[in-house]
Structure 1
Amino acid sequence: MATNDFLEAERRERPRVAVAAGIAALLTLGGWIIPRIALGGSRPDNGLSVLMLFNEHRTSLIAGTLLSMAGLAAVVYVLDFLARAAANRNSIPPLIRPLLLIVGAVVIVASTVLVFVSTGRQHTWAVDSSLTFEEARAVSRLGIGIYPVLIAQFAFTITMGFVAVSAMRAGLLSRFLGILGGISAVLFTFPLLDIPIVQAYWLLMLALTLWSVGGAREPPAWQSGEAIPWPSSAELREQRVRAAEEARGERGEIDAVVVEDDENAVAAGESAGQRRKRKKRR
């Protein structure tokens, strides 16, 4: 594809990707908020009571999972756009994009199926069993079905982080957004924080960045069709120092011109005064 062709295609698609990123942020938060509201702030101390609570609010848990998976699907679309843009600028291996789509689909489907199966087992246990601790432990075991999900999540983390960093290196994202994208990739799979605020913030900032592309602060890589790496902090400081020196140099030149004009004006005034004095003497 010629440079002008993919630049025009990116320009048309960017608003849709920005909307998808914003929706993904809201769905990610919604998938976390709904189960918390349903379950309440305090939980029982023993596993038997926890399972009973989960079964009582299984509809909210399923709704939260569906929202989270819908948000993840939107994230995959956003990452696919960034991967295509980076590939157009030769900043990412061609294998990354199909890998992203495959592992993203596996995570979404496998996680959804796992939640439905687990919820169904808990409901059957709550209705038909004698509610013993041994049965509760048996129901809580997910078995080998959890391993494909964990493997796919780990692969998705690596792929998402690679796409974010590659987009940063191509100059499509700032260093802040590129690094934050890598951190968000880890938190999507390994939720070190209870609330997914980092992931939602990254998606919202990404949405604003893509929506405002075309303005005065547009990264040059979006217009040139080539990789223009985002400058480092040292390079930004050097640019600011150079700009300040150039500004001082221009002011110095202007001051020198003003002084020279003043001196010429004074000299011209003295010459005119001397001529008037000579006329009076005559």
Structure 2
Amino acid sequence: MTAEPEPAIANPEQQLAWEKRHRQRAGIAALVGALGLLAFYVLQQVLQRDMPKVSGLETLVRAAKPGDVGALPSLQNAFFEYLDTKTVLVILIGLGGFIGWLGVAWCVGFLGVATRSRLPVFRRFIIYVPIVGGVVLGISVLMSQLGSLQVVSEYLDSNRTVQAATDADNGLIVYARLLYQLGTLLLAVGLVLVALNAMRVGLLTRMLGYIGIASGAMMVLFPLPIVQIFWLGALGFVLLGRWPGGDLPAWATGDAVPWPTPERPPPRQRRGAPAATPAAESGPAPARRKRKKRN
């Protein structure tokens, strides 16, 4: 026996009323999330722009010298001192990522609920995959930034040797890395599944559906933040009913109304084939008159 799909929402009017109450909030969450992620990535570039860098050649020269290298003054002193002066910026980066990924979790979770009400085979547990992934990812980003500030403080209070720089790590950062990997995987899978099925039922245009699928896959294969930010902002306009061309029919009916596909043009005639003749008009052909012979 095969498992039967879960039934869709029995009362479409009740589902539409629920969506009407929460749709605007989800749209605002999407736009705020897009701004949060934009701030997260832009501020990261600002932080790294003036960050001191250590010459690899100088590191090799010091490593080749005899004696205990760990007791030498660390070449990372300028790096840690720089981060110590950028405490506010580091915290803003963490808050931007935290708010951004929470916004993703909120709006994609809402889109998953709306999709399930129109698609019986869409399982309930899929709704929670992007929600959990986005929350875990946001927490991991904030934990990582706070942990880095703690590491900077501990290093500057130490003897600032090579050994101290090598040991500059703590449990908060290690735990944040594990959460980041888990959250990224869950959110990527959730984005792909929700965007694909939302496109099938007509809650997203085909363009937004494919971009959503691509943004989820890129989180694992090759991160390209601008794709997630663009898709999140576009989803916000869809949820707020501000998408160019008007609201999609599936949002108003409560049923699956797939986005229409462009009609295929008729196949071209093969070269060398005889041209099609127009259909003959109905009715008998007129009789030909006979000419009289002249003597």
Q: So what's the TM-score if we normalise by structure 2?
A: 0.69
Q: State the partner residue of 1:21.
A: 30
Counterpart Cα distance in 2 of 1:157 and 1:26? 20
Identity %: 24
How far apart are residue 214 of structure 1 and its match?
A: 9.2
8 Å contact kept, 1:29–1:200:
yes
Which of 62, 75, 78 is 2:104 aligned to? 75
Three-state SS of the structure 1 residue aligned to 2:189 is helix
Q: State the partner residue of 2:144.
A: 114
Residue 185 of structure 2 is aligned to residue 154 of structure 1: yes
Three-state SS of the structure 2 residue aligned to 1:212 is coil
How far apart are residue 236 of structure 1 and its match?
A: 0.8
How far apart are residue 190 of structure 1 and its match?
A: 6.4
Within 5 Å, give how 1:254-265 maps onto structure 2.
none
Q: State the partner residue of 2:130.
A: 100
Residue 14 of structure 2 is aligned to residue 5 of structure 1: yes
Q: Kindly tell me: are residues 7 and 111 of structure 1, through their superposed partners in 2, closer, same or farther at Cα, counting changes over 3 Å?
A: same
Counterpart Cα distance in 1 of 2:244 and 2:54? 54
Q: State the partner residue of 2:262.
A: 236
How far apart are residue 6 of structure 1 and its match?
A: 0.9
Counterpart Cα distance in 2 of 1:38 and 1:214? 35
Structure 2 unaligned segments of length 5 or more: list them.
1-9, 56-74, 267-295
Structure 1 unaligned segments of length 5 or more: list them.
243-282
More helix per residue: 1
Three-state SS of the structure 2 residue aligned to 1:236 is coil
Q: Kindly tell me: are residues 39 and 144 of structure 1, through their superposed partners in 2, closer, same or farther at Cα, counting changes over 3 Å?
A: closer
Three-state SS of the structure 1 residue aligned to 2:208 is helix
Counterpart Cα distance in 2 of 1:178 and 1:50? 43
Three-state SS of the structure 1 residue aligned to 2:35 is helix
Q: Which moved more, 1:215-224 or 1:158-167?
A: 215-224
For 1:168, give the aligned amino acid: M
Residue 88 of structure 2 is aligned to residue 59 of structure 1: yes
Q: Kindly tell me: are residues 179 and 226 of structure 1, through their superposed partners in 2, closer, same or farther at Cα, counting changes over 3 Å?
A: same
Q: State the partner residue of 1:245.
A: none
Q: State the partner residue of 1:192.
A: 223
Superposed CA deviations along residues 99-157 of structure 1, whole A, max 9, x for unmatched, are 3333333222233223312320222102x122223322221575465223312321221
8 Å contact kept, 1:69–1:108:
yes
Which of 40, 62, 76 is 2:49 aligned to? 40
Q: State the partner residue of 1:273.
A: none
Which of 124, 128, 153 is 1:123 aligned to? 153
CA RMSD of aligned residues (A): 2.7
Counterpart Cα distance in 2 of 1:14 and 1:68? 23
How far apart are residue 216 of structure 1 and its match?
A: 5.4
Q: State the partner residue of 1:163.
A: 194
Counterpart Cα distance in 1 of 2:26 and 2:132? 20
Three-state SS of the structure 2 residue aligned to 1:172 is coil
Superposed CA deviations along residues 159-206 of structure 1, whole A, max 9, x for unmatched, are 12211112111210011111211222244566634xx32222112211
8 Å contact kept, 2:111–2:194:
yes
Superposed CA deviations along residues 64-119 of structure 1, whole A, max 9, x for unmatched, are 11111111111111011100000111252111123333333322223322331232
Q: State the partner residue of 2:63.
A: none
Q: Which moved more, 1:197-206 or 1:8-17?
A: 8-17
8 Å contact kept, 1:39–1:57:
no
Q: So what's the TM-score if we normalise by structure 1?
A: 0.72
Three-state SS of the structure 1 residue aligned to 2:124 is coil
